[in-house]
Amino acid sequence: MDLLRIFSVAHRELRPRTPIPDIQVEFFPFAGINHTARLREGRLRIRVSDIFAVAPEDVQRCLALILLAKLYRKTIDAEFHRAYRSFILRSEIQEMARVAKRSRGRACRPLNSTGKHTNLAAIFDRLNAAYFGGTLDQARLSWSPKPSRRILGRYDSAAHTIFISPIFDSLSVPLHVTEYIMYHEMLHIKHESRVQDCRMMVHTPEFKNDERKFEYYRESRLWLKTL
């Protein structure tokens, strides 16, 4: 069964009294596992990550139901989501996604680890020596392009790069708070994510246990609540 047939059948299941629109569906080389479904002027345009070309038919059907249910604001059985997550969380599929992200992602912006007031490289080296015995692989470091208060820090495993929000490049921010943000992202390098109950667990119990070892853990968490 091809994708067009799969999505047509899924559409009929979700909207049995509605005529099936003109559907165009294709595999698309996204930079990772992404999919889109848009309905415009009676035409349904669907793009499915080309990684899903290797997905079994039943998983492609789950994806079709998930995408169309979201588009039409319908509720579907949670089992479809579980089957979908079980597939994308397979180690070989995650590796395919990492390769796609590395090869198809946006060209890397110039990295800048030296801020107006704070040097990220110096913080990384200090924390690596103090908490990791100097054994952590040197990551690429940069201030994020925009001063976000929602995403304070981020570790991009595909590019082995840590980004820190430039809101922390300020004399009004205690240094230990910036160090805590960096330490948190460094723990993502040390502790690999793992699958549990069809979900990717990025903050494992081991991760959380190590996080509490940061000297100013409580003080930093309290300060961050003021943001």
The full set of domains in the chain, from first to last, is: 3-104 (3.30.2010), 120-224 (3.30.2010.10)
* Angle separating helix axes 78-88 and 91-104, nearest 10 degrees: 70
Map residue 200 onto helix, strand or coil. Answer: strand
Name residue 200's amino acid.
M
Residue 111, pLDDT > 90, answer: no
Q: Mean pLDDT for the chain?
A: 91
> Which three-class secondary structure string do you get for 56-67?
CHHHHHHHHHHH
Query: What are 132-191's pLDDT values in tens digits?
Result: 999 999 999 999 988 999 999 999 887 889 999 999 999 999 999 999 999 999 999 999
- Band (pLDDT 50/70/90 cuts) for residue 91 is confident
Q: Does the pLDDT value for residue 29 go beyond 60?
A: yes
pLDDT digits (tens, 9 = 90+) for 146-155: 899 999 999 9
User: Rounded to whole angstroms, how far apart are CA atoms 84 and 149?
Assistant: 32
Coil, helix or strand for 71? Answer: helix
Burial status of residue 213 (CB atoms within 10 A of its CB: 0-12, 13-18, 19 or more)? exposed
How many other CB atoms are found less than 10 A from the CB of residue 208?
11
Closest CA to 109 of 139, 140, 138, 137: 140
pLDDT digits (tens, 9 = 90+) for 36-69: 999 998 899 999 999 999 999 999 999 999 999 9
* Residue carrying the six token digits 């559409």: 11
- Residue 214 pLDDT level (bands cut at 50, 70, 90): very high
